[in-house]
Each structure stands twice: as structure tokens, then as C-alpha cells.
Chains A and B, each alone.
Chain A
Amino acid sequence: MRAMTYRGPYRVRVEEKPDPRIEHPNDAIVRVERAAICGSDLHLYHGMMPDTRVGHTFGHEFIGVVEQVGPSVRSLDVGDRVMVPFHVSCGSCWFCARGLYTNCHNVNPNATAVGGIFGYSHTTGGYDGGQAERVRVPFADVGPQVIPEWLDPDDALMMTDALGTGYFGAQLASIRQGDTVVVLGAGPVGLYAAKSAWFMGAGRVIVVDQFEYRLEKARTFAHAETINFAEVDDVVVEMKKQTDYLGADSVIDAVGAEADGNFLQHVTSAKLKLQGGSPVALNWAIDGVRKGGTVSAMGAYGPIPNAVKFGDAMNKGVTIHMNQAPVKRQWPRLLEHIQAGHITPSEIITHRIPLEHIDEAYHLFSAKLDGCIKTVIVP
């Protein structure tokens, strides 16, 4: 089969690889119909995630058709069209039994601090991902779900990570009626988080980014106020001014390891790999939230230590809620939101690129060319 393969930092290409096979009784093989590039794929692309091996196939956002199932699979049949959550989960360990599907303990021998993720290095279990023609999906009875006939395939694709993660991020922010919520980052997850903050009763939603085209999307798609941090002298002071010097009730870090806004932080992490990610957004969140407020973090960071302003967080009595989003847990409610017309997830898709041009797709997304927000890959 044809599959995207990692060749080293800033280098990918399409190669011929052996088809995946059933390796466990509850496996399924899915023929990928559409995949997407996630902002967190850029962390791998830029070489920031330890144990990213040459030849690895990225891609944890994908939908497709079931081609094979293992002997113990009960809930799926060959031919089913499914959406697959980005996380691999057994459904029965201590953590899954409590709904923490992204913290599954039975799927990632390489680490205990993170669960299993499709196409996200060997630090998350060594599973090839969905930017390929086919993919092995473990625990077919736990993760995948048949796509409802009424659901647009692009909306289903967004459900597999970005939408579920943004929605989860708004929940982590503990929003109550009338709260002022700042969302750092106007990428797909940030846009969905901003939109979701309204569902939870936010009184104001302010989105911060440096790309004007993304802030325009935040205004139109997510009905948010915006701050362009590149156009203000000090974004923390601006957040204070915008909230009458109180600070936001909640700040959502929807950026993660690629955060810009501080040259030294960015270069030591994204270029020199001396940190597990640039904590600029997290530090802005800690400084921008009001005392006693809540910081939500679901942007991805790596396992290497970061220069986080922990003292400010402690002195302000900040509550920090964080996790990888258990997106399957979000699906029933998100389907209700989509069906009710509250959100059309596919509105943020800007580009569709064939798998054969995956190298261009990554460069386009990484360099933020052509108004790129979300790129869909078609095998």
C-alpha cells in the first residue's frame, strides 16, 4: 500500500509499505477514505517527539471502511464506514474503566505517562497511522464507531480528534455562566474550543493568535473577540486590559508544543529539542488568567521538561486541568450539537491534498501558507 513515511525533521515522502494485518483477535483493518493533518503532527514532523522512527506513518485523524476484522470483533462488520478516535484504548484497564480512554494502560509498552495514539511515534506505542491507504485499528470493539448516515464525512473526520479535543478543552476550563474565556491559538482545536465555550455559557470568548486570517475565522466561525499578539506590545497586559485588569476566568491553551511569541522558548524547544515543547502559551495562560481561575491545557507537549512558570501558577491559586482528550467520550453529545445545528465542524477545512503530495501538505501547514487552517488528505 502507499503510505506517508517520516524521513527526518521536516522531511516526509510517500512509500510503498506492506499492508497491515490482523495482529490481535480484536483488530480491524480499515481502508482509509480521508485523513487529516493535525497541529500535533507538526511536532513529529519537526522532530520534537522522542523515538520518532524513520519510516513511521503519521496520522491519528482518519475515517474509512472496515476491510477485515479479527475473530473476537463483535460490533463491526466488513464494509462498515467508521470514524476512529485518535487514541487506542482497551476499554477495560483501571483508567478506561473510569472513562479515561486516552490514559489506557494496556496499549503502550513504551511509556506509562501517555496512552496509545495512532501514528504518533513509538513513545505512544509504535502504531502506524492513517495517512495511508490502510491502517491497523486495535480494539475494534472499543474505539471505532459506525458513522451515522446523516453525518457528513468531513464532519466525521473532524470528530476523530480536533473537534473532540476542542470541546473537551472547554470542559476542562470549568466554564460557568457569564465567564470570560480566553482561548490561546486559533488553529482547528482553538476554534472548536472557542465555539464550545459558548455552549457552556461563556459571557465573553477572546481568541489570541498571530495569524490574521485565523483570527478572522475566530470572529466568523466562533463569534469571538480577538487579540493579535503580534500587534500588541505585551499580550498578557492586553489580556488584563480586555478583562478590566481582573484576568480571564478561564484560559484555554489550544497551542501546545509549537507555541510562538517568545523566540528563545521557541528555538530551544522546536529547533534545538531541549524542551518538550515551547511553553509560551501555557505561561501566557498562567499569567493571563485571574487569581483562582482555571487553565485548560489539551494542546500536546512532549515528555522532556519545559520552562513553565509554576511559581506564578502556585501564587495565583490557579487550577490547571489537562489531559489528552478522550474523544470517543465526547461523541454522543457532539453528535447532538451537530444535529441541532450548533456547529458545522467541516467549515474550518481549507485544503484537500492527495496522499501522493503529502510532502507539500506538511510544508503548507507548517509554513501557514495560503490561509491554511485544516488540511484533509485523500489517499
Chain B
Amino acid sequence: MSAVEGGDAVSGGAGDADVPGGAAPGDAVAARRAGAGVDAVPPGALDHTPYVADPPRRVPSAAELRERIPGWGSDLALEDRPSVPKLSREVGATSGAHWDLPDQQPDGEGRERSIEHAHVTPVFGTAQPLSGPAGVVRRYAYRRFSEGRLAHWMLLVLGDRIDVATHRVTDALRGRPDRVVHETGVRAELRHHPVASRAGSSRRDWRHGLLDPVVANWGWFAALGGVVLLVRRLRRR
């Protein structure tokens, strides 16, 4: 690691050289104005930084920061910052790869891919392959629309909702039905101070948090509504 070089006073502006001896740039402005016969600077005017060229800034000195903050300034030099510059063949040369092109993972034929890719990539995930009605929608989204088209993403979102609805049924038939309450993790409320975590706090997330049960259970609510409508209709007959 490189040590921080330079004086102890922190600069008055971004990237400026250190100000020797801790003289505030605002003092220089006031002195310059006084020397030029300009009216005295109104009290507080220099607190409004952007209206003058070299105002003072409320920044502690480098010595104070170095004393108070562990590691302060240790990455001040750009060469100590690992992602500077952004593109670096030097970094890429140490990736650990010992191939020009990776071996192709088998069984990629027919796998869905973005049409912005020339081919299925050499390596890919094999979790949850496309299946069922959601799979049909998703495959169409990949095959027909590029990532640049909103339709691509909205079809994938639609596929997600169909996927969830389908699994409600298929998992139940497989003997692994939803555990409606359990899966929401709401039991955590019993053990983790639900009142103290919220009462007297400034947090605002409760306003939209009230919608969470609807988002989590809209499918069940919709199904329940459908059943109610069906029963009412049958009763009228």
C-alpha cells in the first residue's frame, strides 16, 4: 500500500492541491476582494459554496482524518485502486484461465438463449429447465424478442406468474403443496421484536409494506374470489 503524500490540510476543491499551512481558500477570496477595493463580503455569503470560485469547505485536515479514520488515504493513489483503469489487459492476464475458448458444456442444443447471442454460451446453468405453460411463454420470449424489446421482459414476467400458478397445482398433486403461511416466513415476527422494530421509528416502509400480503397471496385471494362468485351463481339458480 502506498502512503498518503502531501500536506496535512485537505484541499478546498475536488482534486486541488493541498493547501499548505491550513489556510482556507475563503480567506484568500476575502483578501483578494479587500485588495481590489470590493465591498466587504457579507456575513455567511461564503457558506454558499457554488456562488464563488474558491470558497472554504468544511473538511477536516488530512492529519485529523488520518488520525481518526483507520486506513484514511491508503488508496489515494489511483494505482492502488484495483478497478482503475476500468479495462486492464494486465488484470485479465491473471484470471486463471488456461484456454483460449472454454470447452463446450454438453447438452446445450435447444436450450433457450438470447437472440443477441450468436450461440449458446460454452457454459450455462441447468437448473429448472423450461417446462409447462410457463416454459412455452418463456421460450417464445427468448426466441422472438431481443433484450432490447420490452415485450421480451414482460413476457418473461408473465411466464413467472404462470409458473407460480401452475406450481400451486402441480406441487399439490405431487404431495408437496404450498405451506401457505409457513413459506412467507411470517413466523419471524414471533421471535424478532416486531413491535420494537417498528414502533417509534421514523421508517416509512410500512406504507407500502401493507401491500406485501396482497403481493404474496394474490393468487389465493383470486382463487377465493372465484370460488365465492361460483357459489353465489350456483345459489341463484
Contacts and interface: CB of A to CB of B under 8 A. Distances in A.
A149 interface: no
B27 interface: no
Interface residues of B, number: 115
A219 interface: no
Interface in A194-234: 196, 198-201, 203-204, 210-212, 223, 228, 230-231
Q: Which of A89, A90, A230 has the most CB of B within 10 A?
A: A90
B15 interface: yes
Interface in B168-212: 176, 178-179, 182-189, 191-194, 197, 201-205, 207-209, 211-212
Given A56-B127, A369-B197, A363 B81 contact: no
Contacts of B99: 92
B95 A244 contact: no
Contact of B82 (A142, A333, A358): A333
Nearest to A222: B69
B90 to A, nearest CB: 8
B181 to A, nearest CB: 10
Interface in B139-175: 142, 147, 150, 153-154, 156-157, 159-160, 163-164, 167
Interface stretch (A22-30, A60-68, A153-161, A185-193): A22-30
A106 B4 CA distance: 40
A314 interface: no
A177 B160 contact: no
Contacts of B58: 204, 244
A243 B128 CA distance: 50
Contact of B147 (A7, A15, A128, A303): A303
A332 B82 CA distance: 8
Contacts of A108: 121, 124
A212 B192 contact: no
A88 B86 CA distance: 19
A51 B156 contact: yes
Interface string B111-143: 111101100111111111000001000100010
- What does DSSP make chain A's interface, helix, strand, loop or mixed? loop
Given A26-B102, A211-B203, A142 B48 contact: no
Contact of A8 (B153, B164, B203): B164
Interface in A104-134: 105-113, 116, 122-123, 125-128
A11 interface: yes
A23 B126 contact: yes
Interface of A: 7-13, 15, 23-26, 46-47, 50-57, 72, 74-75, 88-92, 96-101, 105-113, 116, 122-123, 125-128, 138-139, 141-142, 168, 171-172, 176-180, 196, 198-201, 203-204, 210-212, 223, 228, 230-231, 243-247, 249, 260-261, 263, 266-267, 270-271, 273, 276, 290-291, 293, 303-305, 323, 325-326, 329-330, 332-333, 336-337, 340-343, 358-364, 367-372
25 contacts: A7-B164, A12-B185, A24-B122, A50-B160, A53-B160, A90-B122, A96-B95, A97-B93, A99-B86, A107-B121, A111-B114, A116-B123, A139-B123, A168-B83, A200-B76, A203-B65, A228-B202, A243-B49, A246-B50, A323-B86, A325-B83, A333-B80, A342-B70, A343-B71, A369-B197
Given A53-B163, A106-B121, A261-B204, 4 more contacts: A53-B134, A56-B128, A106-B123, A263-B208
